[in-house]
Structures are given as structure tokens and as C-alpha cells.
Amino acid sequence: MKRGMTVSAFAVFVALVFFVLFRGAGYNPFFGFPVWKAEGTVVSGEQDTNQNPDIIPLRDGCYRLYAHGAPAGDGKMSIYSHRSCDGLYWQFEGKRIDMAAMPAVLPMSDGKVMLYFQRGMGNGAQAFMVATSDDGLHFTVHATPLLVTGKGELKTIRTMSHFELVQLDKGYRMYFDEGGLTPVDFERYAQEHWAWPVSRIRSLYSEDGMHWSLEAGVRIEYEQEPLRYMQRAESCTVFKEDGIYHMYFGAGFSPWEDLKSWKRWSWSGIYEAVSNDGLEWHITDRAIFHRGSDPKIIRVGDVMRLYLSEGDRIGGNAIESYVRQE
């Protein structure tokens, strides 16, 4: 009887561990531990103008959030802004740039702002554009694209999205999602017939912020270990701390992507990678979140705050705030 009870208890324990690892917590080969505390919704989804946020500090100690969206009744993707002095309450400021998406913003020492964004070309190609502003509110769009997919530096890139700008000791690096790929674009699956979308994270480099070149290699690769079932690496945020670069990125999982979409939803989440140089990245053993997308991290005073888009695109997504537990 005693032995039977022990076996039964052990079976329950094994079942509980399995549930937590592979269903409750999603796919994670090492099972990390959370270090972020939820603070609540900081931008509601009512106006649907807050997708893919980028945030910069202002000279008065406050912050401005740039994001894209297509509000009901408008029907076209444009870039909008919000303002906050505490990082929690954000005031909607209105539209900044028409027909634009994926903002990445560079504040200058003189108070001016450079805003990089993506714009469709009407023929399937995408343009990597820039606009400048004296006050961060009124922008002049440079008519000539900096780069265009399928041409020049981007001749091998089909689509690009989710820009993340990092200032280096010399110059700038722009991380972006390379999309438009499927598993059959990779040699190991060339003989298969798999058509689901695949994405990975690449990067551009510029010395002056205006002339950009595609950097060799892939920053986060499709199916990169230890996340061997990762179908999509996308939408990253990058920060440097104690000499080490940290990247939080969205990872989409499923070895049966075209048939078992529920597994993609169950296993996907926000994961972490680290790097000494910002080029070669090692994915750590920690899943930060098992929900949400488009992470953005900023430091507000002594607080490290992470913003995460949650909800569905049809009904409008809200931005949630989390504070790191030191």
C-alpha cells in the first residue's frame, strides 16, 4: 500500500512537471524563472495606434513613444506618438507620419530627431525610409529611400520589418526581421513542400545614420539552438548592461506550423539572447514571457521597464508595462 501511494504520488508529480514545462509555460528546454513584475496596461488599444513601439528620452526628462497603427475609419498604416513623464501614464499626441510603419527613432544631442520607418513601394518591394524633425512632432520625410528590398544592399532581402536601433561607440546598428521566407528556402528542407512563414533577425550598419550596409551573417537564425523548433525569430529590443548586449525577441514555435497552429500559440513567447559584440548571439536558457509581442526596454531613472504588446490586432492591442525585479 505504501509503495502504491509512492508510485501514485510520483506519477502526479511527473504529470505536473510535464504540464508546467510543455503546456502551462510553453516550450523552453531549460525552464527559466521570471524576473519581471506586471505593472498593468499603460496604453489602451482603443485607438489602435500603438503597435511596434519605440521610445526615446526627451530633454525635459520626459519620454516620447512612437508607434504605428491603422485606426478604424482611417484604413492606412501611419506613425503616431504618445508622451509620458513617468513611463506609466501616456498621453496620445496624434499622427506624425502618413503611410509609414515600424518606427525606430534616433534622438540627437541638439534636440532634433531622426525617425526611420518602412513604407510599401506598391510593387511588393519595401522602402527603408528616414524623416527628420526639429521638435520630434513635425517631420520632413526624405523623398529618396535609404534602401529598397530586392535592390542594392538589400538585393537578397525579400521583406524587412520591426526595426531596432542601437547606437555604438562608432556608428549605428539597425536590427530588423528578414521575412518572406519558407523552410524550403533552406538547403536542409529544399526537397520538402513546407510553405509556412519563416523569419530571422538580421542587421544593418551605418557610420552616419544615412548610408547603410547589410552586415554579413544572421543575428538570430531560424531554428537556432537551443530553440530547435523556432520557426520565427522577430521583433527584438536590445540594450547594453555591464558590457554585455542583451536581446529580447519574439520566438514562434511549431514543427507542424502549417497544420497545428495551436502549438504555435502555446509554445511561442519572448526569449533572451546575449552577445559581447552585438553580432554573434547566444540564446540563453530563459523564456521571459509566454505571451505578448514587440518588446521594448527602457531605463526610467533607476527602474528598468519592459513594454509588451498584448491582445489581438483585429480588436486593437494594448501595451502592458513590466518592471524588472533587481
Topology of the domain comprising 32-324: Tachylectin-2; Chain A (2.115.10)
Grid coordinates representing 155 are 538585393
- Provide the whole-model pTM: 0.88
Q: What is the CA radius of gyration of the chain?
A: 21
166, 238 in Cβ contact below 8 A?
Answer: yes
**Counting Cβ atoms within 10 Å, is residue 80 exposed (0-12), middle (13-18) or buried (19+)?**
buried
Condensed to tens digits (0 to 9), the pLDDT of residues 257-288 reads 877 777 777 778 999 999 999 999 999 977 78
Grid coordinates representing 217 are 551573417
Which residue ranges in the chain fall short of pLDDT 50? 1-5, 10-33
Grid coordinates representing 17 are 512537471
Condensed to tens digits (0 to 9), the pLDDT of residues 17-57 reads 443 443 333 334 434 445 899 999 999 887 788 999 999 99
Domain boundaries, the chain: 1-28, 32-324
81, 105 in Cβ contact below 8 A?
Answer: no
What pLDDT is recorded for position 13?
A: 45
Phi, psi of 82 (to 5 degrees): -130, 155
CA–CA dist 114, 134 (Å, integer)? 9
